[in-house]
Structures are given as C-alpha cells and as structure tokens.
Amino acid sequence: MWFSSFIRRRSLTIFVGITILGAALLVFFFNDKSWSISLPHVNSDGNIPVCPVQRKVLFRDRNCDLDSPKGLLYKQPGITLGRCDVVAVTPWSAPIVWEETFDPVLVDAIYKPKNLTIATTVFAIGKYIRFLRDFLETAEKHFMVDFKVHYHIFTDQLQDVPAVDLAAGRKIFVHQVPKLKRWQDISASRMQMIQTIIEEQLYREADYIYCQDVDAKFHFRWGAETLDRLVGQIHPWFYDLGRDQFTYERRPESTAYIPPGEGDFYYIGAMFGGRVEEVYKLVKSCHENLEADKANGIEAAWQEESHLNWYLLYNKPSKILSPEYLWDDLRGKANVMKVVRLSHILKNYAEVRENT
C-alpha cells in the first residue's frame, strides 16, 4: 500500500512540474518577439480556406551511363575516316547526327538494356487527322524499334483515331483538344499542351520525349542515336544557308527576338526532344514567352518555332539531328543526304490548314 501511495504522489508531483514548466514556456514564447504563431485565416462564413497544393514534378531517375556489353563486335572507329562532306560536331562540341557518324549495333547495345520509355507527341487536329494512320504505321516499322514507346495523340476527332497494330510495350494515348480557328493558334498552343501532359502524366512514365509532326512518314531507322539531354533538328530548308537568311523573329518587341549577327542553326519546330525534364523546361519557357507576346499584341513570325529557335540559341542543345531526321519531300533529294529517315509528305497546305 505504501508503495502505491508513493507512486501516486510522485506522478502528481511530476504532472504539476510539467504543467508549471509548460506555462512558463508559453509565457516566454509569447513575450519573445523572435517567435510567432500563425493561426489560419477564417472566412466570414466560419470556414478555413483551403490553399491549392502546387504540383511538384519529380522526374524519373535514369541510368545515363554509356555501358557497352563485353564481347560486342562492331566496326572499329577511326578519327581519320568517316564523313568529310558534312560537319558532325558543333562549336560547343555537341554531335550532329548523320548517317555513317554512328554505329547502330553499338548504339542499340548501349541503350536497349536500359528499359527506357520514349514518349512522342503528335497533333492530329482538323484535317490533319488524315495523316495519322501513315505516321503510326510507318513509326512501328522504323521509330525506336524494340523500345517502349508511348504515342500521345492530341486531336479534336477521337472517333477518327485509327486502330493500329502495335509491337509489345508500345501504347497509344489519345487526348481530346478543342478545335481552334487558325492553324497559327494550333501551332502556338502546342507548347502549353505538351507542358500540361508532362506535368500530369509523362514526368512519372517516360524517360525521353520527342515532339513531332503528324503529316510525315518514316522511311528508315530513327533510333537511339537521337537520345540525349536536349535535342534540336536542323530545318531542311535552312541547313545550307547563312544566319542572315534565317527567318528568326527580328522585332525587338517580341520575346523571341534574335538580333542580327546572332544564331547557330535554324531549328525546325516540327521536331525537338530529349529528356523529359529538359523538354519540360523548354516548353514551359516557350509557353510563357508566347503568353507574354500575346499580352503585348505580338505574334512571332513562326509562332512556336520562333520561340524554339530563341530558346535553343541561348540554351544549347546537347545533340543536333541532321535534316535526315525530318526532310521535306518538296525539296527533293540533296547530295549530302545518304538516307531520309522521316519526311514531310507532299500536300496542299491551303487545303489542309484551318483558315490559312
């Protein structure tokens, strides 16, 4: 009995001590101006407003090491042999990819074991839906063969998306978008739509993303030699011209303005890509600049392509694709082109574009 009474008295003493200590601390905190307690604001209706949670985009970790399997046999590289008719490296040491500047056997042996997922976006809006079947069917033959590929199709005509046989590990995702009045509006809205789909889905599903035009057909290998941090494509109509002939945005009022005397290459807006996090920074920047121009009543000369060229001038791509990777059939065959991997098909722009 005496032991239980002792325990009760000791517990009461401890409780009283903690209470006094807690009260003293509260007095100290409220009198010490270096501490503050923020209470939630309460609306007049008695409810506490809920603040929107900002989405935090956490991109996938990936193995970017160039691991080559032991025992792999391939043609010996040399520094005095190879293409002498084209430039294969930029002044900032980024490779320019042409046929015969890479070994497909070695490239595939490095990248295929990494279990990568490559997303590609195409916009099949309005009359451009007619080109989607050829794009998908030829892509299944030549685009990132034996890789997991997710095709993200943006269209206003869900019912007209064709059923295409896909290889294992390849999927089609269809996203409904509104029909816009002008082809320029469709062009300018692409950056925002790509930004949104990265934020909502791709950041957790894909390692790389390539943004392409639907009015094109694949003819030859379009593979892992294109994978890199940030990738641009040289425009097939400008690859042999000087920078003074590039159709950059030349008005200082535009956020896409590139002053005379500046410029590396003229990049086509129909193909850009790279790691998902790098493409996200690109499209977010271009979207913000497009909106800034819109607020000032300015539309860049070539909409998102003008803003893409501005971005890639001041944020150098780590790899550049030669015109082989997106040619224009209207231009015919050039001597420097050993292969055509993907090409814009011949068409009547006045007929397929909305309100040209």
Residue ranges of the annotated binding site are: 123-125, 128, 213-215, 235, 247, 305, 328
CA distances from 200 to 50, 172, 194, 204, 206 (A): 21, 16, 10, 9, 12
Burial 89-110 (b: 16+ CB within 10 A, else e): ebeeebbbbbbeebeeebbbbb
Which positions are catalytic? 305
For residue 104, the one-letter residue type is P
Binding-site residue positions for UDP-N-acetyl-alpha-D-galactosamine: 123-125, 128, 213-215
- Partners of 124 in the β-ladder: 155
Q: Is the dihedral of CA 247, 198, 186, 217 positive or negative?
A: positive
Task: Specify the 3-state DSSP secondary structure of 133.
Answer: helix
Structure tokens of 50? Answer: 């809920």
Cα dihedral 298→304→309→311 (10° resolution):
90
Binding-site residue positions for Mn(2+): 213, 215
Q: How far apart are CA 258 and CA 171, in angstroms?
A: 39
Decide: 131 and 100 in contact? Cβ < 8 Å: no
Decide: 336 and 236 in contact? Cβ < 8 Å: no
Task: Specify the 3-state DSSP secondary structure of 153.
Answer: strand
Q: How far is the first Cα of the chain from the last one, in angstroms, to the nearest whole number?
A: 99
Q: Identify the CA nearest to 135 among candidates 349, 330, 276, 344.
A: 344
CA distances from 101 to 58, 77, 78, 135, 274 (A): 34, 10, 11, 26, 19
Q: Identify the CA nearest to 58 among candidates 219, 339, 277.
A: 277
